[in-house]
Amino acid sequence: MLVAGLDMGNLTTKAVLLLDGDLLAQSLIMNSEGGDIDGRRAIQAALEESFFDFENIAFLATTGSGRKSVTFSMKQRSPASCIAKGAKRLVPSARTVIDVGAETCTVVRVDDLGGLEDSLGNERCASGTGVFLETMAKLMRMPWQKMADASLEAKSVAEISSMCAIFAEQEVISHVHREPPTPMNDIIAGIHASMATRVAGLAKRMGIKPDVVFSGGVANNKGFARILEDTLATKLDIPEYPEFVSALGAALTAHDEAFRQAG
């Protein structure tokens, strides 16, 4: 039985296909018009890698900020529950999940049975989300992948006291114009450190219980992940495709719902 999970995110839409509960295909697309159009595009892209068609999908569940905008969705679930479900499937020992997306930062506590124990989100403030890094990337005039590498090369971490994107930008500018100027790698490490403070703050408010999974698109940033690990003083488990964790959770929900409704 083929099921699909859609994570309608703020910047990208992720689709995960499961065949009899096992991962078949996954695909990510940049958002365009949103809603059904992007939902369908993401699923089509994932179907391309399989022998199936849209009509073969027995159940579709949606999550993410745009989950209610997909008219052909059969079930909607909050991002927190999908993050918990997806992370638990990839890392069975997961008890805390930190998910950092384009515009959201969510910390989720999972209980021993895989159920959602507690969840805390921050969708209002850019600090602690991908938008912060995007803003800084424009300022540094380099893509985030290069920023990740630069951060890992840094000899020391420049002090950027502010977590707010607006004020941090000012601090970065003054670092660049300092006499002598702060090394670029150090500034970038400082940017990551400032963001890690915000993310870690949210995680500590929740209470960190190992094992800790780091998911969401920002988890691809190895430079930031390293600094977050240091700030939390806890090892972070990063799945191979961290941006798909929530969509996987939605697909698993679809799988469970399909069986529940059939039986």
Binding site for other proteins (CB under 8 A): 77-78, 81, 115-125, 127-128, 162-164, 167, 198, 201-202, 205
Element (DSSP H or E) covering residue 202:
helix 184-206
Handedness of CA 138, 143, 146, 148 (dihedral sign): positive
Cis geometry, peptide bond prior to residue 180 (ω within 30 degrees of 0): yes
Cβ 79 vs Cβ 121: under 8 Å:
yes
CB of 29 to other proteins, least distance (A): 25
Q: How far is the CB of 95 from other proteins (least distance, A)?
A: 14
Q: How far is the CB of 204 from other proteins (least distance, A)?
A: 11
108: which 2 tokens? Answer: 């989720």
Long-range contacts of 121-124 (CB under 8 A, 24+ apart): 121/79, 121/80, 122/202, 123/65
Q: What sign for the dihedral angle of Cα 111, 116, 117, 119?
A: positive
Environment class of 93 (CB within 10 Å of its CB; exposed 0-12, middle 13-18, buried 19+): exposed
Closer of 80 and 187 to other proteins (Cβ): 80
Least separation in angstroms between residue 201's CB and other proteins is: 7
Q: Which is nearer to other proteins, 121 or 183 (CB)?
A: 121
Contact 7, 13 (CB under 8 A): yes
Query: Among residues 125 and 238, whose Cβ is nearest to other proteins?
Result: 125
Query: Nearer to other proteins by C-beta: 4 or 168?
Result: 168
CB 12 → other proteins: shortest distance, Å? 21
- Name the residue nearer to other proteins (CB basis): 37 or 125: 125
